[in-house]
Amino acid sequence: MTQNPLTTDIPYVDIFGKTLTEAFPTQFLDQTAKDTRLVKRERKIKPALLFWAFVFTIGVRIERSLSMLKRNYEIMSRTTLSDSSWYERFSPELAEFFHRCAIRGIEHLAQGSHRAVSERLKAFLDVIIADSTVIRLNEKLAKYWPTTRTRKAAAGIKVGVIVSAFANSLKSVSIFGERTSELKTLRIGPWIRDRILIFDLGYYAHQLFARIKDNKGYFISRVKNIADPLIISSLRSCRGNSIDLVGKHIREVLPRLQRQVLDLIVEVKLKRRSYNGKMSGDTERFRLVAIYNIEDRKYHLYITNICAAVLTAEEIAKLYGARWEIELVFKELKSKYAFDAIKTTKKFIVEALVWSTIVVLLVSRLIYNEVRIIGETQGKSIVRFTQMRWSTIFAEGSDKYLMAVMQYLGMEFTIGDLIAVQTSEALDPHVNRKRFRDGLWA
């Protein structure tokens, strides 16, 4: 028989309760609620209880219900609320409250234990993956976030995400209008130094590559089909009567090649940022790796500024494949936490749901890290704790984790609390409404 994870010999309540409340301390939640004016004066609404009820009630459910959230909050706080005092909390201040909580969670996870890194990657501070996803919204929000890709949905937002592969967590999250190009969602600066940035073709721009290089960072990207860099030299020799590649463009030689792997230095053209109203033309040299894919029957091309002495051509291709991790993040957000199921017509509720869902993901990662540690101490293979499988377990066990937090904070609720709330909430709020069975039976 499977044991209850909260009643075994291991003090799970202390482990999970401590982990979560260290990331989001009650004092921080109370102060943030005051700073954002979510709570103007202390009455029945307790910010910490509202936060944890939000995370573990509607944050992990595909069908979101504010009335369900209200009932859970009343059970936890052992109080009853009027509908007006409850719904007035769903305001721009709530969106800013969860935004600040998300920033706090991201910073906290970044300071925690990181994944074990291979020796080949220890030369870098981190491997960072950037991407964005679009969330369709009600057409009434088009004046804030007009769409560009389809006429069926008149509104949409683009959520730009940067993930740290070493920390196995989010590094930053930003909300843009759908019309914002991917390049404008990514700001390159000194923070990129000694880090590898991986992105898809939506970010492809030689100017971006040059900025990363100028800031002493590194990147890996696929090569656009329309890009045709000039070959300067080859980093791998080929036996036999090989085609001379130097001085030719890559698209010219690819159809005639029979090599499995190409490792080249290429030159690309770019335009530097404008100075005194003028943009100057320039060139840069990067490394181009081509790996022949048997299934696709064509070369997969990658461009980077990581030298061959640090990572081989095959390792460059394999590392780019790690970009799939950010796709799994989006899949988890959408399939487990209803990230793209936002039906409201109010702008601030959209923002509140986006930021609170990001917080849910961070909470999931915090518990996931603890589960991996516990599993490893029990001799289990840590690589078998996959994130997508974990997200299902997390969503299913959300009530237990809420209980763990409440017990750790000394705020347990009882069956009596549950019954008190249910007998109150079960009453139809319309006192004077006529009912067809009145006078017949009750």
Is 430's pLDDT higher than 90? no
Of the pLDDT bands very low, low, confident and very high (cuts 50, 70, 90), residue 440 is: low
| Side chain identity, residue 321 | G
Residues 6 or more apart whose Cβ sits within 8 Å of residue 376: 382
Q: What does the angle CA 360 – CA 363 – CA 368 come to, to the nearest 5 degrees?
A: 125
- Range 340-357 average pLDDT: 89
Of the pLDDT bands very low, low, confident and very high (cuts 50, 70, 90), residue 232 is: very high
Beta bridge partners of 288: 264, 303
Distance of CA 387 to the CA centre of its chain: 13
- Range 361-376 average pLDDT: 88
440: helix, strand or coil: coil
Torsion of CA 109, 111, 114, 119, to 10 degrees: 140
- Range 412-440 average pLDDT: 57
For the chain, what is the radius of gyration of the CA atoms? 27
249: DSSP letter = B
Question: Max Cα separation, the chain?
Answer: 100
Is 412's pLDDT higher than 70? no
8 Å CB contact between 161 and 185: no
As a whole-number percent, the residues of the chain with pLDDT over 90 amount to 45
Dump pLDDT digits (tens) for 290-308. 999 988 889 999 999 999 9
Domain ranges of the chain: 12-111+345-425
